[in-house]
Amino acid sequence: MSMWWFIVTTLAISAFICKSPAYAYDNNPLQDICVAVNDSHASVFVNGKICKDPKLATPNDFYFAGLNVSGNEVSGLGFALKTVYVNDMPGLNTLGISIGRLDLEPQRLAPLHTHPRATELITVLEGTLCVGFLVPDPANFFKSRLFSKILNPGDVFVFPIGLIHFLYNVGHKKAVAFGTFNSQNPGFVIIPNSIFASNPPISDDILAQGFQLNKTQIAELQKKFS
Ligand SMILES: *[C@@H]1O[C@H](CO)[C@@H](O)[C@H](O)[C@H]1NC(C)=O
Ligand SMILES: *[C@@H]1O[C@H](CO)[C@@H](O)[C@H](O)[C@H]1NC(C)=O
Ligand SMILES: *[C@@H]1O[C@H](CO)[C@@H](O)[C@H](O)[C@H]1NC(C)=O
């Protein structure tokens, strides 16, 4: 009887372990790359940041001042970003949240980009923005659907995690928006720059075929983004 009970229990536990989703996933990455050190004696450099001794934490670890003013303009592009990620506010470590401020001059664009680790919720404080994100069309891998809106102060819009999106100032004065992210380090992949300004460059055979352009056109694009 007790042997029977032991077998049933063992089978039940095994089935639970094999099926439980908790055993089926790796953690989400917290940075772009995390190269393993092949040395068990190497100093700790965990996924994220190592923790300060809690006794040494101070209120300033949880504080950031300065979202009342714009960040520095990205030269020539008419947009400025100021981020409050874990590097800017150490108290955010492990909390899965961060914020940033975007300032856009009229007719200027926050170019097509994605945040590989976060959904972004934006709130417009000033100005008028045309925003949108692209969703692959499940009916056709080679197409996408655009979800776009014109936003005014007080309007909120969400860019789902990983999807390509843009923000464009369609008004006549500066626009200001705050974006909040469900990651301490959301990542920022600007699509055109990633593709045409990589180091080393992607072969022009690949880019020409990938974008159905000729190599002269590819060279022009690489020059624009370099
Ligand atoms: C990692 O370390 C082990 C033990 O020192 C060694 O056998 C192995 O070749 C190393 N692997 C790499 C990729 O360096
Ligand atoms: C912005 O906030 C900082 C710190 O809180 C303050 O020193 C500064 O005067 C403020 N700037 C403006 C333009 O309000
Ligand atoms: C590349 O394409 C452009 C635009 O169609 C055309 O004007 C140009 O002559 C082409 N260059 C080459 C080398 O094929």
pLDDT for the residue numbered 41: 67
List per-residue pLDDT tens for the chain, 226 residues long: 455 555 555 555 454 444 444 445 556 766 666 666 666 666 655 556 777 788 888 999 999 999 999 999 988 788 999 999 998 999 998 889 999 999 999 999 999 999 999 999 999 999 999 999 999 999 998 999 999 999 999 999 999 999 999 999 999 999 999 999 999 999 999 999 999 999 999 999 999 999 999 999 999 999 999 8
Beta strands in 127-218 (DSSP E): 129-137, 140-151, 156-159, 165-169, 175-181, 189-190
**Sequence-ordered list of residues with C-beta below 8 angstroms from that of 120, at least 6 positions apart, any chain:** 158, 159, 165, 179, 180, 181, 186
Give the burial class of 49: count Cβ atoms within 10 A of its Cβ; 0-12 exposed, 13-18 middle, 19 or more buried. Answer: middle
What pTM did the predictor assign?
A: 0.81
User: In which region does residue 6 sit, left (phi positive, over 0), alpha (psi from -120 to 50) or beta (all else)?
Assistant: alpha
Any atom of ligand 3 within 6 Å of the Cβ of 194: no
Residue 4: CB atoms within 10 A of its CB come to 8
pLDDT for the residue numbered 48: 66
The residue type at 172: H
- β-pairing, 120-126 vs 109-114, is unpaired
Task: Tell me if 103 sits within 8 A of 193, measured CB to CB.
Answer: no
Task: Tell me if 129 sits within 8 A of 167, measured CB to CB.
Answer: yes
Identify which of 209, 216, 221 to mutate to test ligand 3's pocket (most ligand atoms within 8 A of the CB): 216
Q: Which CATH class for the 56-225 domain?
A: mainly beta
pLDDT for the residue numbered 21: 44
pLDDT for the residue numbered 54: 82
Any atom of ligand 3 within 6 Å of the Cβ of 217: yes
Instruction: Name the residue ranges covered by the structural domains of the chain.
Output: 56-225
The kind and range of the H/E element at 13 are: helix 2-19
